[in-house]
Structure 1
Amino acid sequence: MTTTYTAKTTGEAVARDSQTRIAGRTVLVTGTSPGGLGAAFATTIAPFGPTHIILASHNVVKAEHVAKDIAAVAPAVKTSVVKLDLSSQAQVREAAAEILKISTHIDILVNNAAVMATSYGTTVDGIEQQFGTNHIGHFLLTNLLLPKLLEARTQGGVPAKEPLRVVNVASNGFRFGWVRYEDINFGDGTTYEGWFAYGQSKSANMLFSRSLAEKLGNRGVVSVSLHPGVVITTNLSRSLAMEDISEMGVLDRKLGNRSYWDNVANLKSTAEGVATHVFAAFDASLDAPEVNGSYLEDSHVEDVGNVKSWARDSVDAEKLWKLSEGLVSQNFDY
């Protein structure tokens, strides 16, 4: 029987339902400062018996606090903290190497870290900050890890019992922007709009999941993307003022997104916001091949008709893959 979840379902409730799939697993999550959804995800699943949680964060001191929180609720769970700066490709490569030293057996990778609607800026590699951090950093990290992770799962010629999950935390903000394949940097900032750039990066997260599903589904990889909801108490959302929310409403009117005109944000608690993370990482229903690559909201697979074509099209997914390979100067052929 399939459990029906709602926008008010908590992460703990989903984890309780999936506890047999959490137990014994090794999980890597990015963006794990206290007060964020990555940290909430890690502390929510910890009591249900994962073997090892790897916390990858740009601030290792803050991530160590999360490791202590995990130890307080689940002292048997091993934790590791890794420095990860997604805005630097050189540092992402260092982080990937460090992660593979810690463990080549990772069952769940949750690409959670993000920046949102920032002023114009670029990464150290010259890429618009939101696209470079939210997508390119995770694209590089994931692809640097995958060959070793896939190899470890078939050692001895016996495939792992359950698929390797790659979860990309996107947003329904994908509605604000498609990937500008010929101008990802918004004319070096001259045509920049923060919410459009955020939309571009979130559409990219969704297309990346689509690509992974199409390229590696037959090798035991399940990849999905998700919208956690608007959680105003997280580090990412806390800086949002009412005028920012109003601005989203104005943009939705300009773009014709009528369903958001009078209902821009249904606010969630952190416990409710992290539920879809847990569902995406562990729910058994997502092992079905026909839902691989899907986009999730409120702990269910969203109707594809509610997803803008630019965030789900296979042609766009392949275009983004090639663009991303060019930006990291490395090809990943599967």
Structure 2
Amino acid sequence: MTPYNSKTTASELASDFTPSITGKTILITGVSPSGIGAATSAAIAKASPALIILAGRNPSKVSTTAADVARPYPNVPTKTLKLDLGSLQSVRDAASEVDSWADVPVIDVLINNAGIMAVEYGLSPEGVETHFATNHLGHFLLTNLLMGKLLKAEAPRVVNVSSDGHRMGAVRFDDYNFDGGKTYNRWVAYGQSKTANMLFAVSLASKVAAKGLVALSVHPGVIATNLADHLDGNEDFAELKALDQAQGNKEGWAEFEWKSADQGAATSVFAAFSPELKEHNGAYLQDCHIADPWTETVKSWATSPIEAERLWRLSEKLVGQEFPY
């Protein structure tokens, strides 16, 4: 594979992958200014896509990102979409709106980028722990509801932005709500949701590959974005290191290697447009390559086809809808 690395930027990749981006319709969730979703959209715009759909919970922030894209690239069309992934009704409303757009017959690439990290215990309107609901269930439902337009594309791709934080926990199939909060640990909850992002890609690769869809998950790296604005840089991350050490993870004794937003968006762009990945459906990537389970953090619970199928069935139950393919 082409030797990109942790320093590669999304902007560089957009130049390299221009033939794969030009004329495509891309939907990106979680596009607050200064985040990696915004950086992803800015990089993609330079390669003249047909349309970028910018989806997020806060319409004002989404509009700001749309304006940031339009300023240097006024000829690149954008649409904005109100989407609160923590509410299944909001997800359904957003998917229905996209389906109603007659001028958007296909979605070539869906980048499930939005997420929350290490928040206090809470439940979604449907009664599901907040990380699991927002980071996984919302994207699970959105992706499946948009599958009709995805499968009309010539070579559709779904990219789930996960994290090496999946090391913090497998999916707690019998207690995803942490016993009503009694056993809650915010980093374990975050880990469960990031594991789910990876398993969802494994499931899609298994179920929809025959229809031409490629699904991948990525670790973007450690980036200073508003995802962690609510956290104390010392105390809260010391809690994370302590958990890593208790679990025996190497990250408990390592320093964070920080990336810029443009570098953090790179692996998403690589996953979405690299022609080299067509034969690696369901893979988990980091630093613009397929992660190596021998040398990098890739927990087996996040790549198991059995765990993936269990999660698919649980997710269908929780959203109240089945998606047979």
TM-score (norm 2): 0.96
CA distance in 2, matches of 1:32, 1:261: 30
- In the alignment, which of 246, 267, 273 is matched to residue 254 of structure 1? 246
CA distance in 1, matches of 2:83, 2:255: 32
1:106-145 aligned within 5 A: 106-145=107-146
- Contact 2:163–2:194 (Cα < 8 Å) also in 1: yes
Q: Which residue of 2 aligns with 1:301?
A: 290
Cα deviation, residue 237, structure 1:
2.7
1:1-334 aligned within 5 A: 2-102=1-101, 103-150=104-151, 152-153=152-153, 160=154, 163-232=155-224, 234-240=225-231, 241-257=233-249, 259-288=250-279, 291-305=280-294, 306-334=297-325
2:223 is paired with a residue whose SS is coil
Cα deviation, residue 19, structure 1:
0.9
91-100 or 238-247: bigger deviation: 238-247
TM-score (norm 1): 0.93
Letter aligned with residue 278 of structure 1: V
Letter aligned with residue 223 of structure 1: A
- Contact 2:223–2:261 (Cα < 8 Å) also in 1: yes
Letter aligned with residue 41 of structure 1: T
CA distance in 1, matches of 2:38, 2:9: 15
Cα deviation, residue 120, structure 1:
0.2
Runs of 4+ with >3 A deviation: none
Cα deviation, residue 264, structure 1:
4.5
Cα deviation, residue 267, structure 1:
0.9
248-257 or 183-192: bigger deviation: 248-257
1:195 is paired with a residue whose SS is helix
CA distance in 2, matches of 1:53, 1:70: 9
Alignment gaps of 5+ in structure 1: 154-159
- Contact 1:168–1:224 (Cα < 8 Å) also in 2: yes
- Contact 2:124–2:133 (Cα < 8 Å) also in 1: yes
CA distance in 1, matches of 2:199, 2:236: 26
1:118 is paired with a residue whose SS is coil
Cα deviation, residue 86, structure 1:
0.6
Alignment gaps of 5+ in structure 2: none
CA distance in 1, matches of 2:228, 2:105: 33
Show CA shifts across 1:82-128 (max 9, x none): 11011111111000011122223110000000010100000111000
Q: Counting helix residues as a fraction of each chain, which structure ranks higher?
A: 1
1:73 is paired with a residue whose SS is coil
- Contact 2:109–2:157 (Cα < 8 Å) also in 1: yes
2:84 is paired with a residue whose SS is coil
Letter aligned with residue 298 of structure 1: D
Show CA shifts across 1:7-33 (max 9, x none): 111111111111111111100000111
- Contact 1:231–1:237 (Cα < 8 Å) also in 2: no
Letter aligned with residue 308 of structure 1: K
CA distance in 2, matches of 1:327, 1:239: 28
1:34 is paired with a residue whose SS is coil
Letter aligned with residue 140 of structure 2: F
Cα deviation, residue 51, structure 1:
0.8
2:134 is paired with a residue whose SS is helix
Show CA shifts across 1:118-155 (max 9, x none): 000001110000000000000000000103431x33xx
CA distance in 1, matches of 2:81, 2:14: 25
1:261 is paired with a residue whose SS is helix
CA distance in 2, matches of 1:23, 1:165: 15
- Contact 2:107–2:149 (Cα < 8 Å) also in 1: no
CA distance in 2, matches of 1:329, 1:312: 25
- Contact 1:135–1:201 (Cα < 8 Å) also in 2: yes
CA distance in 1, matches of 2:275, 2:254: 32
